[in-house]
Amino acid sequence: MTRTRQWATGRTDQRVELSLGALAAVALVLIGAMLLTVLIKAWPSFSHNGLSWFGPGGDVETQLRAMAELKPLPGHSILYFRAWPLIWGTILTTGSAVLIALVVSTLAAVFLTEFAPPAIRRILDPVIRLLAGVPSVIYGLIGILVIAPYIDEHWVSTARRASVSHVVQISGADVMTASLVLTMMILPIMVAITAGALASVPASWREGSLALGVNRWRTIWRVSLRTARPAIVAATILATARALGEAVMLAMLGGGRSFAPNLLDGVTALFEPVRPLAATIFQNSEGLTIAPLAHTVYAIGAVLLVSAAMLSLAGWAAKEQFKRFGVRG
């Protein structure tokens, strides 16, 4: 919608415009300051470890404890840190959650808008809305009080425990549980956005497609979902951002220690503990007064911040792409 831009008339208007503009600039300043301060505080950790900060090399737990006690590990300086288990844990949990949620939410949204009987729709509408707003700590609560003990009792056999006990203790709180609950957390919002987009597809397109002899399922697939693609992409980016930033639930359900689940262990890897980046910040927030620990934690924060910025960029790029075919959104 183009409107002719009028010059502000009168001094009051100019003053208002300036003050509002200044306030808006504050938002800009804020995010800039955030980036700057976090990066500055994180710099010592990065500069000391270099690029191998992101690599493997030892146990994160011992490294962090060494920093907290101000007793450097033998052969390394106090700032020694290798974040690979955290990064791998983040990739595993966020990646699997988003992939599963993408498929499930698309199918569920199609079900909700196309096939579901009106009674089910009426019930699910407020329920999904509620679930989207449920705080993550409640998901963590259910997980840790219900799901984790159940898995611990029934799915983790003694033999399995023994097979990796020389490396790590496995329990019901593990990468699989955490990923599943994370999927459940990001599902409602993806379903909501996708369903909203599907319902906004003009009826004339659906009717036109049916009139050409294309059956309902293919009509949904080739017309409705295609029209809803920008919405699905945006929902995915939104969900990824939320999954990346999820600290509390993953801290509760990840299994209590930072560990890189070893896929070569086969199925047992599903039960190995994990602690993604955000959860690590959360768990170590007590020690922020200790300098080396603080640098490391802020370094992790910097990684998260940069990832969030890149996701934002991806979202913008995706939207530009979709404007080509005149698809709304």
Partner 1 sequence: MSTAELASRPPSGTTIARAPRERTASWPLVDRIGYLLCWAVGVGLCLIALGIVLYMAVKGIAYLRPSLLVQHPAASVKQSESGGFLDPIVGTLIVAAIGIAIAAPVGVAIAAWLSEYRRPAWLARAVESAIEMIAGVPSVVLAIFGLLIFSQRFLGFLSETDAGGAVSGKSFFAAGAVMSLLALPLIVGSTREGLAQLPDRLREASYALGRTRATTMRRVLLPAIRPEIASGTVLGMGRIIGDTAIITIVLGLTLTNEGIGHAPLISTLRGSGSTLTSYIYTNSPAGEGSAPQKAYAAAFVLLLIVLALNAIVTRLTNRGGPTEDSGRAFRLLRFEWIPWTR
Partner 2 sequence: MDPMMPPPVRRIAVDRDPYVAPPRPVTNGSPPAAPPAVATRLRTPRPVAAHVRQRMSIESVWLAYGENWVVRDVSLPVREGEVLAMIGASGSGKTTLLRSLNRLTEITAGAARSGHITLDGQDIHELEVNDLRRRVTMVFQQPNPFPMSIFDNVAYALAERPARGGRRRRRSPEIEHAVAHALHRAGLYDEVAGDLERSALRLSGGQQQRLCIARALAAEPEVLLLDEPCSALDPISTATIEELIVELRESVAIVIVTHNLQQAFRVADHVAFMHLGELVEYGTSGQVFDHPVQERTRDYISGAFG
Window 110-139: residues binding partner 1 (CB under 8 A): 110-116, 120, 123-138
Query: Torsion angle, CA of 170/171/175/177, rounded to 10 degrees?
Result: 160
Q: How many CB atoms lie within 10 A of CB 90?
A: 26
Write down the least CB distance from residue 100 to partner 1, Å.
Answer: 11
Cβ atoms within 10 Å, residue 12: 9
Partner in contact with 39, chosen from partner 2, partner 1, none, beta carbon below 5 to 8 Å by kind: none
Among 83, 86, 87, 187, binds partner 1 (CB under 8 A): 187
Q: Distance between CA 83 and CA 108 in Å, rounded?
A: 36
Q: Which is nearer to partner 1, 77 or 312 (CB)?
A: 312
Which positions from 23 through 52 interact with partner 1, judged by CB under 8 A? 23-28, 30-32, 34, 37-38, 41
Using an 8 Å Cβ cutoff, are 253 and 140 in contact? yes
- Window 84-113: residues binding partner 1 (CB under 8 A): 104, 107-108, 110-113
Q: Which span sits near partner 1 by CB under 8 A: 48-56, 73-81, 150-158, 238-246?
A: 238-246
Point out which residues bind partner 2 (CB under 8 A). 202, 204-205, 207-215, 218, 222-223, 226-227, 324-327
Smallest distance from partner 1 to CB 101, Å: 11
- Span of 45-53, 59-67, 87-95, 188-196 interacting with partner 1 by CB under 8 A: 188-196
Q: Which is nearer to partner 1, 73 or 156 (CB)?
A: 156
Which CB, 83 or 201, lies closer to partner 2?
A: 201
Task: Say if CB 94 and CB 182 are below 8 A apart.
Answer: yes
Residues within window 251-310 making contact with partner 1, judged by CB under 8 A: 251-252, 278, 281-282, 285, 288-289, 297-298, 301, 304-305, 308-309
By the rule CB under 8 A, 150 interacts with partner 1: no
- In the list 217, 222, 321, 325, the residue contacting partner 1 (rule: CB under 8 A) is 217
User: Which of 63, 90, 94, 140 contacts partner 1 by CB under 8 A?
Assistant: 140
